[in-house]
Amino acid sequence: MRNIIKKFITLSITLNIFIFVLQPQLAEAKKYGGTFIKVAPAEPPTMSGEIGNGVAAFMVATNIYNLLVRYDYEFKTNPELAESWKISNDGKTYTFKLRNDVKWHDGVKFTSADVKFSLLEITCKHHNRGKSWCPSIKSIETAGDYTVIINLKRAFAPLLTILSDYNTGTLIRPKHIYEKGYDKNNPYVMSPKVGTGPFVFSKWVKGSHVELVRNKNYFKKGLPYLDRLVVQFLPDEAGRLAAFENGDLDMIHSYILPYEHVKRFKNDPRFQVIEHGNEATATNANLLLNHDNQYLKHKKVRQAIAMALDKDKITDAAMFGASKAAHAHIGSGVSWIHFPEFDYKQNIAKSNEMLDAAGFKRGSDGTRFSLRDYWSSGRAFEGRAAQVLRSQLRKVGIDIKISSFDKPSFVEKVFKKRDFDLAHQLFTTSPDPTLSVVHRYASKNIGRPYANAAGWVNKEYDELTTAEVGIVSTAARAAVWRRVCQILMDELPAYPLHEMPNMQLVRAGFEDVIMDPAGYYGIHERTYVSN
């Protein structure tokens, strides 16, 4: 009997050990399979991510291609296609050691030639933001198949952040595909079928959707978990909402869904409201001020307007509690260069005093002067903000006339023709201000889309932001940026109103819906179906 009991105990222990060892594998196996459907507001002409631009194009491109390196939610740079790197003491030379186990989706080996070609021939020639930082490059060299050396004309502190952010055009492309020409005559530009990323381009059903399928040979072993990733084109806001509630969509980013619905979804067990990252990668809502306007050209008038505003009330009205007031031109998540102390506090009496001193007295009706305030009609929260702003400025004798325009007309009026007084505009923030702030207010960018609509010229700003990228020390850069932020808040080419977090609505039943810290396009290599 003892022997039988002993054998039974031994067998039980063996089985338990077997189950214990096997358990992680079983758990991992459960993660595989399924389809994830996300939505884009429009269908672009191409899916290149540069030529096509647009949300859908980036949703596709960022899941097909990889970056050299990438930052996480703490903005630490991590390996991607590069497994390690070294920076010279003078900050002018970056040497990247590449992975040697990566293949393009067509089976061709990934090499250093692909990196050199991508950066010099695609990023620097075809990407708007790429063109802004590429002049810092002296040369790019290859040392064998798996070493890339970037030589800079001078130290350029933001380089790793730039290489980590696909918004700067640094997705790595296959040289053997794109050396035939990066234009619309190359069918692979229109529909990019060859990458190194977690998903492979499957099909594009015009007017409907793009479908990607799992890359079974992905260099990150075991990933991705999903079998299919679908990007659905739904331009109608009501249609997107209905499709999501009916279970036909798995995710909507909050920027294409009215924020008034977010609270409702938070209380519905069928859905998840997921916020990712921190405010460094949020979107800042700003009030643009045209410095050519006969009233706004006076700095004291611009400051009086800022002092008349209660941003908490503007934020609550616009975002239904899904946002918070902004107090600097740089996101609050970028703690090393966030300087809220330069912001204005509402002071109606002081605002009135400043307007009187500027020579703009109230008329018999109590009005000093009128200003036009424009917003983009696709963003209802801007319209709500404009209404509150109008009521607040009325208290200091400024009459506001509100108008909305579709996006193309808004861009034409505000940024190209600069035919406006006040305007509401969103600016994406970044962990490095060189990527998100510098070009926005540089004097050379007057008249360019999404940059310096104020027509603001400040020599000190231009000189400081040109020089600071060459500073290697983070502390020294922060000191420069303190002065830059002070100038921006004193001169007010724009006034930050509120920070909009990166948020997405996800149908229950999915786990680890990981949103890329660089923005809302998302990398879903770790997302899996939980039920």
Give 332's pLDDT tier (boundaries 50, 70, 90).
Answer: confident
Nearest by Cα to 304 from 347, 351, 357, 359: 351
Lookup result for tokens 């902004």: 326
277-298 as b/e: b if 16+ CB within 10 A: bbbbbbbbbbbbbbbebebbeb
| pLDDT digit string, tens, across residues 485-506 | 999 999 999 999 998 877 788 9
How is the chain split into domains, by residue range?
35-40+197-277+502-529, 66-178, 280-500
CB 80 within 8 A of CB 115: no
Q: Domain 280-500's class?
A: alpha beta
Mean pLDDT of 390-396: 98
User: Which CATH number applies to 66-178?
Assistant: 3.90.76.10
CB 257 within 8 A of CB 489: no
Count of residues making up the chain: 531
pLDDT computed for residue 226 by the predictor: 95
Nearest by Cα to 506 from 528, 482, 485: 528
Lookup result for tokens 């001078």: 154
Alpha helices in 31-170 (DSSP H): 54-64, 112-117, 124-126, 128-133, 159-163
pLDDT computed for residue 29 by the predictor: 65
Sequence-separated (6 or more) residues with CB below 8 Å from residue 115 = 68, 81, 96, 98, 140, 142, 148, 172
- Give the side-chain half-sphere CA count within 13 A for 321: 6
pLDDT computed for residue 52 by the predictor: 53
CB 94 within 8 A of CB 82: no
CB 496 within 8 A of CB 183: no
| pLDDT digit string, tens, across residues 55-88 | 788 888 889 999 999 887 777 899 999 999 999 9
Distance (Å, rounded) from C-alpha 81 to C-alpha 231?
Answer: 25
Q: What predicted TM-score, i.e. pTM, was given to this entire model? A: 0.80
The domain at 35-40+197-277+502-529 falls in which architecture?
A: 3-Layer(aba) Sandwich (3.40)
| pLDDT digit string, tens, across residues 467-486 | 888 888 889 999 999 999 99
Complete DSSP assignment for 147-177: EEEEEESS--TTHHHHHT-GGGT-----HHH
For the chain, the average pLDDT equals 87
Beta bridge partners of 515: none
pLDDT at 17 > cutoff 50: no
pLDDT computed for residue 193 by the predictor: 84
pLDDT computed for residue 2 by the predictor: 43
